[in-house]
């Protein structure tokens, strides 16, 4: 198996962009990644697109060639991958296989979502489609409500508190303020975060990530050829994908996501590393409780200690395990299908020492965790400096 | 009708259009009584419930299972 390197990364800002359609966003991110890698489209042998619900949000289907041909890439394999919020993580995983197998030397992975073109109740309805429509969604579960039920059980079993949840939001906003591409660049206080209007109790507005438009793209290359193109290639040390039951009511214990554990075990094993070796991470904080559960499932803290660790400041940029220095989904924004690749872009930026005011002191090995649905899909990627 | 115990719950304030008239409403996961009966996502009628409460099934609507706190 050949090692894979990331030689280019590019993102659009995340936010509400009424004048930019889905394709415009994806093409913008793709061009940035090509420019960053200093390669042209002629070198790209395959296009992998992560997108959750483009057809639902915009009416457009068959999205991969819709985008790749707009980039002038005609004739190459061009396919869309869907794994709910882990869509572009899944696309990235497949793209890694394409290089690792020896089939390709260079490919592009992009992720995109255009969400703000629909009113919030319709967005809520589309997002709920990532749950099991025949059971939990039919009963009135929204996406926030699924994670609210996780939070309620986590609080019951481990003593996680309202303030613990809010500490995640406060920290991610503190980081997002320093990210010029973040959607919500605003400091919030713990009091504000704890007392926001309820969305699905116990979760409130500040426990929930944002509704966003945006795209991200990376150029992957065989590691043995990366130096031909890049002075600062980043190596994919390990990558793993796993799956689990769709509905929460099918899982034996909803305070842990076995897909996250499974993906992490595979990624750690491939990298020959463990949780203690990870210096920083971008975790899938679609809701505050998701960041807490993720840090436990990844082995950064003991089970049940995620909320306490967060409230103690353990995940701040100056803490022992900085999490979501980018601002996370909470502050940076969460264009669902773009998020997995956007996390990779954020890790690459840190590893290269190009994160500006957000630059972390220890930045040799970073981990990205991209979660789909309420834990039915997960992709974990470990990246390191060459 | 089925009976069980509340495993977890939420109170929904922001709902899709078709449930907008019900807001706020409580959604729960019930651990059903009986060996291997498993769990079920359901709505609550009447008083709100908390984890550990015993509930019994009442007549549902549109195929949605509905439970109520046991007296």
How far is residue A376's CA from residue A307's CA, in Å, rounded to a whole number? Answer: 23
Q: pLDDT per residue over A69-98, tens digit each? A: 999 999 999 999 999 999 999 999 999 999
Window 242-261 of A: residues touching B by CB (8 A cutoff) are 247-250, 254
Q: How confident is the model at residue A249 (pLDDT cuts 50, 70, 90)?
A: very high
Domains in chain B: how many in total? 1
pLDDT at B17: 86
Judged against a pLDDT cut of 80, whether residue A113 lies above it is answered with yes
Taking domain A4-119+211-232, whether its CATH number is 3.40.47.10 is answered by yes
Chain A's closest residue to B12, CA to CA, is A200
Q: Which CATH number fits domain A132-208+235-385: 3.40.50.720, 3.40.47.10, 3.40.50.970, 3.90.1170.40?
A: 3.40.47.10
Q: pLDDT per residue over B23-53, tens digit each? A: 999 999 999 999 999 999 999 999 999 999 9
- CB burial of residue B59 (10 Å; 0-12, 13-18, 19+): exposed
Judged against a pLDDT cut of 80, whether residue A229 lies above it is answered with yes
Q: How confident is the model at residue A140 (pLDDT cuts 50, 70, 90)?
A: very high
Window 5-24 of B: residues touching A by CB (8 A cutoff) are 7-17, 19-20, 22, 24
pLDDT at A269: 98
pLDDT at A386: 75
Q: What rounded mean pLDDT belongs to chain A?
A: 97
Going from N- to C-terminal start, the domains of chain A cover 4-119+211-232, 132-208+235-385
Chain A's closest residue to B50, CA to CA, is A152
How far is residue A167's CA from residue A221's CA, in Å, rounded to a whole number? Answer: 38
Q: How confident is the model at residue B16 (pLDDT cuts 50, 70, 90)?
A: confident
Spell out the alpha helix ranges (H) of chain A: 22-37, 54-58, 63-68, 87-100, 120-128, 143-158, 162-176, 190-194, 258-271, 288-297, 306-311, 328-331, 339-351
CB contact under 8 A, A249 and B39: yes
Q: How confident is the model at residue B60 (pLDDT cuts 50, 70, 90)?
A: confident
Judged against a pLDDT cut of 90, whether residue A112 lies above it is answered with yes
pLDDT at A23: 98
How large is the average pLDDT for residues A27-43?
97
Contact A109, A12 (CB under 8 A): no
Judged against a pLDDT cut of 80, whether residue A14 lies above it is answered with yes
| Catalytic, out of A164, A173, A334, A363 | A334
pLDDT at A261: 98
Residue among B11, B38, B65 minimizing CB distance to A139 = B65
Share of chain A above pLDDT 90, in %: 98
pLDDT at A252: 96
Tell me how close the Cα of B53 comes to any Cα of chain A, in angstroms.
13
Q: Does B51 touch chain A (CB under 8 A)?
A: yes
Residue among A138, A152, A156 minimizing CB distance to B10 = A152
Tell me how close the Cα of B40 comes to any Cα of chain A, in angstroms.
6
Q: Does B68 touch chain A (CB under 8 A)?
A: no
pLDDT at A170: 98
pLDDT at B71: 80
How far is residue A109's CA from residue A94's CA, in Å, rounded to a whole number? Answer: 9
How far is residue A92's CA from residue A79's CA, in Å, rounded to a whole number? Answer: 12
| List of long-range contacts for A348-354, beta carbons under 8 Å, 24+ apart | A348/A6, A348/A9, A348/A218, A348/A234, A348/A383, A349/A9, A350/A280, A350/A325, A351/A234, A351/A383, A351/A384, A351/A385, A352/A232, A352/A234, A352/A385
Q: How confident is the model at residue A177 (pLDDT cuts 50, 70, 90)?
A: very high
How many Cβ atoms are within 10 Å of B3's Cβ, its own excluded?
A: 15
Q: Which residues, at least 6 apart from A93, have a Cβ–Cβ distance to it below 8 Å?
A: A239, A241, A379, A381
Note down the domain range covering B36. Answer: 3-69
Domains A4-119+211-232 and A132-208+235-385 share a fold: yes
Share of chain A above pLDDT 70, in %: 100
Residue B50's SS3 state is coil
Judged against a pLDDT cut of 80, whether residue A216 lies above it is answered with yes
Q: Is A85 a catalytic residue?
A: yes
How far is residue A133's CA from residue A129's CA, in Å, rounded to a whole number? Answer: 6
How large is the average pLDDT for residues A17-29?
98
How large is the average pLDDT for residues A350-363?
97
Q: How confident is the model at residue A20 (pLDDT cuts 50, 70, 90)?
A: very high
pLDDT at B61: 82
CB contact under 8 A, B51 and A121: no
How large is the average pLDDT for residues B41-69?
95
Q: Which of B22, B4, B51 is nearest to A141 (CA)?
A: B22
């Amino acid at each position: 198996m050949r090692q894979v390197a990331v030689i280019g990364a590019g993102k659009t800002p995340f936010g509400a962009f009424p004048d930019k359609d889905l394709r415009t966003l994806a093409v913008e991110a793709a061009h940035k990644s090509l420019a960053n890698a200093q390669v042209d489209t002629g070198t790209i042998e395959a296009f992998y697109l992560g997108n959750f619900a483009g057809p639902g949000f915009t009416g457009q289907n068959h999205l991969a060639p819709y985008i790749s041909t707009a980039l002038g890439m005609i004739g190459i394999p061009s396919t869309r991958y869907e794994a709910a919020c882990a869509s572009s993580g899944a696309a990235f995983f497949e793209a890694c296989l394409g290089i690792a197998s020896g089939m390709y030397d260079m490919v592009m992975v992009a992720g995109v979502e255009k969400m703000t073109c629909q009113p919030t109740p319709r967005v809520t309805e589309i997002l709920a489609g990532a749950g099991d429509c025949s059971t939990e969604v039919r009963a009135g579960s929204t996406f926030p409500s699924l994670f609210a039920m996780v939070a309620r059980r986590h609080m019951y079993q481990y003593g996680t508190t309202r303030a613990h949840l809010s500490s995640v939001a406060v920290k991610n906003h503190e980081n997002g303020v320093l990210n010029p591409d973040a959607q919500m660049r605003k400091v919030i206080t713990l009091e504000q975060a704890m007392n926001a209007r309820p969305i699905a109790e116990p979760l409130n507005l500040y426990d929930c990530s944002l509704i966003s438009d945006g795209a991200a793209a990376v150029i992957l290359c065989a590691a043995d050829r990366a130096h031909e193109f890049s002075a600062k290639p980043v190596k994919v040390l390990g990558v793993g994908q796993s799956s689990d039951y769709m509905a929460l009511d099918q899982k034996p214990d909803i305070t842990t996501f076995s897909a996250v554990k499974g993906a992490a075990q595979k990624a750690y094993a491939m990298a020959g590393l463990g949780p203690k070796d990870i210096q920083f991470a971008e975790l899938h904080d679609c809701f505050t409780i998701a960041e807490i559960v993720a840090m436990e499932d990844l082995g950064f803290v003991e089970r049940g200690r995620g909320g306490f660790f967060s409230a103690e400041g353990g995940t701040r940029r100056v803490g022992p395990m900085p999490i979501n220095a980018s601002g996370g989904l909470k502050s940076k924004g969460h264009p669902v299908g773009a998020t997995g690749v956007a996390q990779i872009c954020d890790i690459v930026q840190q590893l290269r020492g190009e994160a500006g005011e957000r630059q972390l002191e220890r930045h040799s090995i970073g981990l990205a965790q991209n979660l789909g649905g309420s834990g039915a899909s997960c992709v974990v990627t470990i990246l390191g400096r060459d | 009708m089925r009976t069980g115990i509340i495993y977890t719950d939420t109170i929904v304030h922001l709902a899709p259009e078709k449930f907008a008239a019900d807001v706020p409403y409580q959604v729960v996961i019930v651990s059903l009584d009986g060996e291997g009966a498993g769990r079920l996502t359901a709505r609550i009628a009447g008083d709100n419930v908390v984890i550990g409460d015993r509930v019994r099934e009442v007549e549902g609507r549109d195929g949605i299972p509905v439970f109520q706190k046991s007296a």
